[in-house]
Chains A and B, each alone.
Chain A
Amino acid sequence: MSPITRRLVLVGTAAGAASLLVPVVVRSSIAQSPKDETAYEITDWIVVASTGEVTLGLSQPEVGQGSYTVLPQILADELDVDWQRVRVRFVTGKDAYKIAFKNEAPAQKEGASMSTTTFYERLRIAGAAAREALTRAAAQKWDVAVSECRTERGFVISASGNRLSYAELAPAASRLPLSTHPRLKEPHQFTLIGKPIPRLDSRAKSTGRALFGIDVSVPDMLNAAIRMAPSFTGAVVAIRNEPKILKMPGVHAVVRIAAVAVANEEAASEHPGLTSLSRDNAVCVVADHFWQAKRALDALDVVFDGGPQGGLSTAMIDGLLQAALGGDAAVPVVDIGTARQILRDQAASVIERRFVLPHIAHAPLEPVNATAHYRNGVVEVWGSIQAVTACQEAVAKATGCAPEAVTVHVTFLGGSFGRKIVPDYVVQAVQASKAVGRPVKLIRTREEDTQHDVFRPNAGARLRAVLDEVGYPLAVHARVAGQSLFGATRKSWLDQTPEGAWDESMVDGIYNQSYRVPNFSVETVDTPLPIPVYFMRSVGSTAAVFFWESFISELASHVSADQYAYRRHLLTAEPLALRVLDAVAQASNWTTPPAPGLYRGIAYNCYVGRGGRFKTYVAEVVELMNVGDRFKVKRVFCAVDPGLVVNPNTLTAQIEGGIGFAMTTALYSRITFSKGGADQKNFFDYPLLTIDEMPEVVPIVLPSDRPPQGFGEVVLAPLAPAIAQALQHATGRRLDVMPFPEAAFRR
């Protein structure tokens, strides 16, 4: 604990309404404010101002999941402060803000549904330590024992009734050493944790006053539009009419942008480190205003080539996938019992199914953008950035400066789902700024955002099973193939075996599945591709659980078993799994025959956090109804065991939104490739679910003594197989691809 850290005094922090929403780096010396207000940092997370305002640091970007409210809620509860006087500031620059998911260096980042899980204890300790320091400061002032003092909503109160506010105590408290093991509240003492506290950012977001990356404006700023080579390995070959473009209204410069490695371009590449490559793969036009830049860019006659992989196509990708599924080479992941032997011995009884899923795009509604200012080896970046440390490292690598020389200001993110962890667009903005010597805000159009997403990889599976005499799985062999996410972007997360490395995300929900299968063999095959890929909400489980649950559905229907009873029988050794399965069956009246025209599907998954950090149990029932000549998803029951719920309001929102997100994936999402790049461009060929298609959602949240488990991603994966099962009941047709063809919903 460094004295410098503890004694930081912030002068002149503004208290205006807008400042609730504008990013501020805690240690920025640039902050200017009209009001002269002194503030004292009590811990890494808590600053108390002389006015009584308490600023809580938020280190996890607000991407829609509610961290802006939920994490401060934890701090505020242990701190025992008046929630109405709390304001939230995004913070960066300290080790306390860093986390690791698996075996990587800690970094400041948000993702993998880790925020609450990782920070719950840390923030409780910080809040409690701050409360203790304030209490001790009061005790010293009154010359009484600490045990004679208590706190109440921003005040320390002595046994004799003396009161001192946190504001009055802050100067003294900020000089006291912090306890590393302060006494935490007992759950029955919580005043905020566990309550459906309203979101702090709802008013701003409903009145157009929340600042997103795309809204940033800094003095002297220019705007830029960018066009990238359509082929992922393509380069800029020629710009033919640059002089003419430079004369267009508002235009300052035409800048060639150097490529950064986004996937599989370099064996050692592991973004978001983003090694710069030796070719220019984009051009951008910098102008006074964005439309001037875009207009000029559209008129720019630039020639791109296809590069070494300019022939990449969907047919090629599918071919590789099928070869991998049918071939001999695979890396074993799990081998319990003698699955392969049994399948050979009972070859005539093998039930086999193949599945194919495409790459899909994140499509956040705010297209990626960044504002950057490069000057003399120092870089300042503003925007929608989900991983601060990665951004600093990528910019440092690209410019040759030290990561500490990169200051990152984080705004609200207009959706990310994992996209805005990769700072490729930030590096592009930095390059533009360096070229013109002024701050530049670079915005990708929807077309550029879609075509140059970092996609969720494709995946295919081949599942084979033999049933026992009663009809339950005796032996199952699962092979999953596809472009390995870890292989392309995070080799340190691959699991190494003598036979090779395997990517846990590819079989997430299969290799660690919960059903009782006495002979179980799982293997993977990586089909590397030159396609930029990255983590997308729920990662590999969106594919793996579709394969696995669909196959279980098929096995059950093979013996005409009830889908709930079949699963239940296989989960009897997993009480927490049974609990959610039973809850969703009960809520949906599963055991009562459905009304005519109503068809149901059930699915289960235990979402295991990266590195085994948490386990969230989920079971869903989908109701399909006949509407005219089609079937429509009318209602989804979703039972969850998420451990302790810090905020039931934001949790329910994640259930609703997660199901809607998964509906889009099941019904619509597909990226195809030709001539080395992606085909889809905008919402007409990459549609999103609309309000009229959104089903009713019935959340069932089961109480739990477990600490908070991850939640942002967990409800997605079971939805598609549940819909597929319901459709199979309704139409007799089985689905082994996503997105489901439109015809699948016709009677």
Chain B
Amino acid sequence: MTRPLIVACAAALLVITSAATQHTLGQNNIAAVARSIALFRKAGKVFQNPRCLNCHPVGDRPTQTDRMEPHRPWVVRGIDGNGAPGLACSTCHHAANFDAAGVPGNPGWRLAPASMGWQGRSLGAICEQIKDPARNGGKDLAALLKHVSEDSLVGWAWSPGAGRTPAPGTQAKFGALMRAWAASGAHCPPDNGK
């Protein structure tokens, strides 16, 4: 008579334990997502830094300086991000910063495609954009992480030349932050227009 009771009790215990675990897991989930989002908000200090935003306009024309004023002269994305015929980015921007002329440079200097336009968008929207292979140049998460950690043009944000405030931290730290964010589930802040 004792064994069935033990089994029943054990079974009951199991049920009670799994429900408790699930409840705890649920609470842990919310916290984990929040931590993931917090990581991305930290990374957002780079994404929404003028050094990056200036070449990630939503419209056709880049901006410049910390005040993010319309780029003088008027230049546009053009077909492939390299500018309009007659006034390509490479007319003025070359492989390296040239402080004597106050002109920044990088071998890959060009405007981000319209699908990667970030100016004026919420951090949540930017997050969705960079995760979406249809909009981020066909990158999966691993490729995205490699891009932000190693790409030379991305890295320019931390060595922008005289007279420009660098993005916060370093590219290495940014890469590590993004890897941590990816490991944490790559959750995006809500797209609440902020």
Contact = CB atoms under 8 A, between A and B. Distances in A.
Contacts of B72: 683-684, 687
Contacts of B100: 295
Contacts of B74: 690, 692
A684 B71 CA distance: 9
Contacts of A690: 73-74
Interface string A58-82: 0000000000000000000000000
A295 B99 CA distance: 12
A683 B102 CA distance: 13
Contacts of A684: 72
A295 B101 CA distance: 12
A250 to B, nearest CB: 16
Interface of B: 72-74, 100
Interface SS of A by simple majority: loop
A692 B86 CA distance: 14
Interface string A677-705: 00000011001001010000000000000
A528 B74 CA distance: 39
Contacts, number: 7
A295 B72 CA distance: 25
B50 to A, nearest CB: 15
B62 to A, nearest CB: 14
A130 to B, nearest CB: 49
Interface string A656-691: 000000000000000000000000000110010010
Most buried by B among A295, A683, A684, A687: A684
A687 to B, nearest CB: 7
A687 B70 CA distance: 12
Contacts of A692: 74
A278 to B, nearest CB: 35
A339 B119 CA distance: 57
Contacts of A295: 100
Interface in A116-168: none
A295 B74 CA distance: 30
A690 B100 CA distance: 25
A354 B33 CA distance: 60
B103 to A, nearest CB: 12
B78 to A, nearest CB: 16
A692 B73 CA distance: 11
Nearest to B72: A684
A435 B100 CA distance: 28
Closest 5 CB pairs of A and B: A684-B72, A692-B74, A690-B74, A687-B72, A690-B73
Nearest to B69: A684
Nearest to B65: A684
B63 to A, nearest CB: 13
A295 B100 CA distance: 9
Contacts of B73: 690
A684 B101 CA distance: 13
Contacts of A683: 72
A690 B73 CA distance: 9
B88 to A, nearest CB: 17
A683 B73 CA distance: 10
A213 to B, nearest CB: 23
Interface in A222-242: none
Contacts of A687: 72
A692 B72 CA distance: 13
A578 B74 CA distance: 41
Nearest to A682: B102
A403 B51 CA distance: 56
B46 to A, nearest CB: 25
A475 B172 CA distance: 74
A680 to B, nearest CB: 14
A687 B72 CA distance: 9
B59 to A, nearest CB: 11
Nearest to A291: B100
Interface in A287-304: 295
A682 to B, nearest CB: 9
A746 to B, nearest CB: 14
7 contacts: A295-B100, A683-B72, A684-B72, A687-B72, A690-B73, A690-B74, A692-B74
B87 to A, nearest CB: 11
Interface string A155-199: 000000000000000000000000000000000000000000000
A599 to B, nearest CB: 24
